[in-house]
Amino acid sequence: MTGNRAILGVAALAELIKGDEPPTLLDVRWSLAKDGRVAYAAGHLPGAVFADLDEDLCGAPGDGGRHPLPEPAALEAALRRLGVSGGRPVVVYDGGGPNPSGAAARAWWTLRWAGVEDVRVLDGGFAAWVAAGLATTADVPEPVPGDVDVRPGGMPVWTADEAADPGNVLLDARIAQRYRGEIEPVDPVAGHIPGALNLPAAQTVDEHGFLRAVEVGGERIGAYCGSGVTAAQLVLALYEQGTPAALYVGSWSHWITDPGRTVAKGDGS
């Protein structure tokens, strides 16, 4: 696979995995409520290895938020164990559907941040693969250890100060109720970062979970959510249409660790 595209269709992937040099397939199904390993064990794409978003692709929760950047050495070890090599393309997928978790997008973003250039996201995820009538398996492969070298800096990252800069366009990927501060099921403080615009991640996909274009204007664009996972879906959608965007990795879970930072509520930014 070559080029700057981030999205790969199910038909194209089905052909690739039948070839002599198939891509590394990473199943990153994840949600706050369910263990992705259960879904993986029940059935996954042939040859896919399960990658745990929390343990393999993020750092430990703490002052940096619930899904901070991993230490480069730890990420490199995890990726090599999963079979990621510098010269082999990688395809990541999650559950798909009309309400994206952002897990595949965050995996794509993390690998790109780590310097892995040829990474794609399966359009529509596992749901699209099944809907197309393509084969799944419960067989767990033994990946050949990879040789990837992690080189951080491949994707732009925003700090809290950059997220708060009124000269930047900051997108909030959470649902409207969380943005407005009406509910907060995860973090101890409700609301949003002052100046942020609400663009729920579900608006980046159609009713089948396939990626679609979003309209955002501005020279410097960044995205955040609760912990930097769902927001990666916005970064992915913008990247695919040629608009670069940064990720505020710590997101809301990091923003609220400093009581001196302002919290906004309601529809107004």
- Catalogue the active-site residues: 225
Q: Counting beta carbons within 10 angstroms of the beta carbon of residue 62, is it exposed (0 to 12), middle (13 to 18) or buried (19 or more)?
A: exposed
Helix (H) or strand (E) holding 53: helix 53-56
* Separation between Cα atoms, residue 53 and residue 103, nearest integer Å: 7
> How would DSSP label each residue in 111-165?
HHHTT---EEEETTHHHHHHHTT---B-----PPP------S-SS-B--HHHHH-
Handedness of CA 113, 119, 124, 128 (dihedral sign): negative
Q: Is-contact 253 66, C-beta < 8 A?
A: yes
